[in-house]
Each structure stands twice: as C-alpha cells, then as structure tokens.
Structure 1
C-alpha cells in the first residue's frame, strides 16, 4: 500500500493498537500499527475494490479521488468488505509453550480453532455479521486471507479468473510515479486478493479510490503464502505485550509472536493486460463497454514476462 491510502489518524497508545482495528481504506481491515508502519512500501503498491486498465476515467471530477463511473449501490458489495456489526474482539493474549514449558509464541487464552489459519498463524479475532450494512472503506481481515489462500475473487467470492497468462490481480497504477521500480509490476507485494472478471469490472467502475489510476495484471505464479502484516508481541514479566507492527515472512521464526491482521502475497510472472478486452473475449459485453468508455486509455505494453 502507498501512504496516500492511509488516513492521517493519530497513532494510539502501543498497548491499545492491537485492539483498535482501524481501516486500510478499501482494502484490508488491519490494526492501525500494521497499516501505518507499512503503508509507504513502494514494492507493495496496489489498490483495492479494483480493476484493470491503466489510466483515469474519462470524467474524473468529484474531488481529490474523483468520482467513480458507477454508483456504488449499482455494484455488488465486495465479499471482503467489513459490515456494520463486525468488529475486532480483544481476547487476552498468553504464551504458548513447547513440551518443556518454554515459551515459543503467543495465543489467545480462550483460543478457538478458527483463530489460526491453515499454517497455524494467529489472526486478529473479528465478529461476523454478513447481513450488516457495508463499510466500504474497510475489509474483514480473515475474509481477505481466505480469498488469497484459495485464489477467490475479493468481490464475488467466485474463483478468480485465470487464463494462460495467469490469475487476474489489480494493482494501483505506478506509471505516473518518478520512482517506479525497475521491472514493475514483477515482484510486487500486495494485500489484495485476486478477482473474477466481473469483480474486476465492478471494482474499477464503482471504487472511487481507483479513479487516480490502476493496472490489471495476469500473474503466472502468485506466492500467496509469502507472509503477514500485523502486531508483533514480546515477552514481559506481566505476559506478552504488543511491541510493534511488522511485516513478517511466513518462514520467519517471529511469526509465532505475531497477531496477523492481513496476509501478503508476492506476484511473480506478471503480464499487464487489457481488462475491457478480456471482458469482451469472455462474453461480458456490457461490462466491457462500460470499462472501455470509463477508462479509454490503453494499458502500458510489456515486452516480456519474468517467470
């Protein structure tokens, strides 16, 4: 994420930070520590309720972020969007020990099976209320991780679209930046799950955060188990206490001391594609027409793909 996506909220007290799950706009509901400490990573430049050809819409009025081409109430509510009534819980954090009584990490005092993912990593606990009104600026952390793990669309929860070039992802456009990394978007680190074609179209049409620019990418080898972002704990005489926000690779021994707030993927084998053309080819004629009309600029060509 780039720092332009992070609201300029004051940092809370360190002990409070794990409980105060404030927002990662339009993307992942994460602890304020995790968002602010890692928001400026250029390598993680991407966007959320998303879509795919680089550029701004033909009519980009409406303020700093512009006006989305499609009213949000005319698009499906993204699966990963947090709902009213869904909120972080605050179970006591305790030590976990090995067979010799040595502390090897942290867990919850009342830990449940669903508090950890398939790799055994501890996650922030949030309530679920799928029928609540959507809070479009925030994303439910566990649903974000679920969609990345299973390569499901962050909007529709259908399987992400995949063709001979790979799985469809949407990134924040970087072409206007002076410091664009060499080889971009190869090796981009992202918090955003992939998309179906319909999910990508509705993202680019309905999300005002994407008005400033976006790029559609097919990814041949998405490493969805790369790592996590969240709050790192440390030992103290009174038990584990929040230490700092961190981006931790899955194979890092410190992952056992992390309360994860978001899962991070690395994208390998990237090819920039034309979303409208892909929609047209798949028979989504009306969505293709809307995307092409709203975003008339063509995607930047890429000479080759690194695999």
Structure 2
C-alpha cells in the first residue's frame, strides 16, 4: 500500500502542529498548597478531571472539521489521543466503538503477550471501530508484527504517559522520561506534563477479527 493511499488515523500528528514552548510553563501551587507545574496563562481545559496538566499542541483542522496536513506517522497528537481515549472513540475515524459485546482494542503481541481471562493490561492505544479493524492491522507497523484483538467490557482510566519536570535555579527543566504509565493519585504527577491517556483493559475476551461482523450502524 502506498503512502498516498493510506488512511490517516485521526490521532496521528500532522506537520505544522507544534507543541507549546517550555517558556509557557511555570512553577505554581496545587489546591493543597504544594509546588506543581503549570502554565502562565493556564485555563481549565489544560488539566483533565483528575487535575493532571496536559501538553499543549496546535491543531490543523480542515473545513470538514478533521485534521489536515502531511501526517507524521510515528507521532500521536496529545489532544486527539486524549479525546478518543476519554470518549472511547475510534482512533482512525473518531466514530463510536461501542458494540453489544464491548469495545475493540488491538494490542501489539509484544505488549500484551498471551492475554488470558483475569489479566489486566494497560494501554495508550484508543479502541477501533469494527469498520476499521482490518485497516488498523494493515497500516500499523507495531500490529503487523503480531497483535491480540480484545473485546473489552471494562476499561477504567489508569493514568498518563508524558514528561516529568522539575524546578531548578535556571527555571523549569524537563527530565528524561519513558513510556511507562504513571497512575493517577501519584504525587509525581504534580510535576508532570501528560501527552497520552492510559486505560486498564479488564474483563475482556480474545477475539478473531474475521469472526466479527460489521453492522450497518451502531452507537
């Protein structure tokens, strides 16, 4: 499949979408009076319902209300990932993913291993709708190496992935980080800038994509 013919997922970042400068960050205080990371011109939308600060990034939106511009295939837009993960919307078309059996999540085999009933998996990958289940597998390099399809009935929020910061004599400084999910209600999140939302996948059934039937419509 050529690059031109590829369907660009909704959550994929586009060229020209730029993160906010570190100069926009400052040291502030949380509701308990403890030092915390914040923005100089912070608004309510900058934090999620759990009080975690999120990285700002510009968005290029076309006349159709969808992202436009050349895709940056390996990058995920933080606001769109957060939107689809919060609302359990399809990461490709931003459409609904709920089915009578649950929500479909596709996990790389290396990450999920052999999923068994009772396992709890953590993921930053939003679900996919049934109509785009095969497209997701064909286009995602991580899924092409092997994947597990899970029909999930319970996927509570767990925490976030992002970048830790600290205050120094020279000002705000970003610290080395990785993709390890940080759970909510952890003190280190006071000095953390989130970029991806993480859910726990539990109460699921391992399914075969070919056994699933795409309905004409579902909500």
| Matching residue of 1:24 | none
1:172 to 108, 114, 119: 108
Does 2:74 align with 1:137? yes
Q: Is the 8 A contact 1:91 1:110 kept in 2?
A: no
In the superposition, the TM-score normalised over structure 1's length comes to 0.60
Runs of 5+ unmatched residues, structure 1: 1-69, 285-307
Does 2:172 align with 1:235? no
| Matching residue of 2:143 | 210
Call closer, same or farther: CA 1:214–1:99 in 2, change over 3 Å.
closer
The structure showing larger relative contact order (alpha-carbon pairs under 8 Å, at least 6 residues apart) is 1
**Partner SS state of residue 228, structure 1:** strand
Written as runs of structure 1 = structure 2, the 5 A alignment for 1:44-59 is none
Instruction: Using the TM superposition, give the Cα deviation of residue 174 of structure 1 relative to its aligned residue in structure 2, in angstroms.
Output: 4.3
Determine which structure has more spread, i.e. the larger CA radius of gyration: 1
Q: Is the 8 A contact 1:71 1:206 kept in 2?
A: no
**Partner SS state of residue 20, structure 2:** coil
Q: How many residues align?
A: 208
Does 2:129 align with 1:196? yes
1:251 to 172, 178, 185: 185
| Matching residue of 1:123 | 54
Instruction: Using the TM superposition, give the Cα deviation of residue 133 of structure 1 relative to its aligned residue in structure 2, in angstroms.
Output: 1.6
Runs of 5+ unmatched residues, structure 2: 61-66
Q: Is the 8 A contact 2:165 2:192 kept in 1?
A: yes
In the superposition, the TM-score normalised over structure 2's length comes to 0.82
**Partner SS state of residue 138, structure 1:** strand
Q: Tell me, in whole angstroms, the C-alpha distance in 2 between the residues paired with 1:249 and 1:151.
A: 19
Cα RMSD over matched residues?
A: 2.7
Q: Which protein is richer in strand relative to its size?
A: 2
**Partner SS state of residue 213, structure 2:** helix
Written as runs of structure 1 = structure 2, the 5 A alignment for 1:1-307 is 70-92=1-23, 93-97=25-29, 102-129=33-60, 130-164=67-101, 166-174=102-110, 180=113, 183=116, 186-223=119-156, 225-245=157-177, 247-279=181-213, 282=215
